[in-house]
Amino acid sequence: MAPHRAARQVMETLAARIARKKQELQAAAPRIALAMATAGLSLVRLRIERDGLPGKSYSTLTVPTFLFYNRTLNAGGRAYIKQNKRGTWGALRGAQGLPSDRVTLGYTNRMWNSLTATGSGATGTVFTARVVSTDREGADRVRYNRARYGDFLQPNAAETKRLGLSAEREITRILQSP
């Protein structure tokens, strides 16, 4: 076989492989975006539950405890209200066995449990996914907390790096597969 003919076959084979890998990457992109959004939500929730919102704490302003009456989760909360004429939201949380030293946005966990990741489409070759609430109450709580605390669902730098490395590993796996 002539050298130029062999080179052309190699180039055609390489071009076909590149085209195939491009198709595989485009087919996997929505799944990768969704996996990143899902993992990102999990990382953010775990961090907030563990560490609380940075720089945020419960108010030390005391209010009449009867205002908490219909908000109690257990007997500890009801006992706190009975024993105290005035109290704080943090103290009520502590009486019920919940963290009171940090804001975790998880009193009933309805907001957290309503959140899910969903694919939101593509623009050219950029595929996106987003975190949404599955019900009105959860969406209202997200809006309220976002207005109060800012974009608390945004991954921090370490979480963003971890998510990027995960996506990079999946892309590398696709590229290196036969």
| The predicted structure's pLDDT at residue 2 | 63
- Token pair of 91 as six digits: 């103290």
- Is 9 a residue whose pLDDT tops 80? no
Measure the CA–CA gap between 157 and 50, rounded to whole angstroms.
Answer: 17
The string over 48-72, giving b where at least 16 C-beta atoms fall within 10 Å of a residue's C-beta and e elsewhere, is beeebbeeeebeeeeeebeebeeeb
Cα 163 to its chain centre, rounded Å, is 11
Q: What does the pLDDT look like over 36-89, one tens digit per residue?
A: 999 999 999 999 999 999 999 999 999 999 999 999 999 999 999 999 999 999
How far, in Å, are 34, 74, 129, 145 from residue 120 at the CA level?
9, 39, 5, 23
- Token pair of 96 as six digits: 């019920």
User: Rounded to 10 degrees, what is the CA torsion of 126, 133, 149, 93?
Assistant: -150
| The predicted structure's pLDDT at residue 6 | 67
Q: What does the pLDDT look like over 125-174, one tens digit per residue?
A: 888 999 999 999 999 999 999 999 999 999 999 999 999 999 999 999 99
Measure the CA–CA gap between 106 and 140, rounded to whole angstroms.
Answer: 14
| The predicted structure's pLDDT at residue 13 | 82
pTM of the model: 0.86
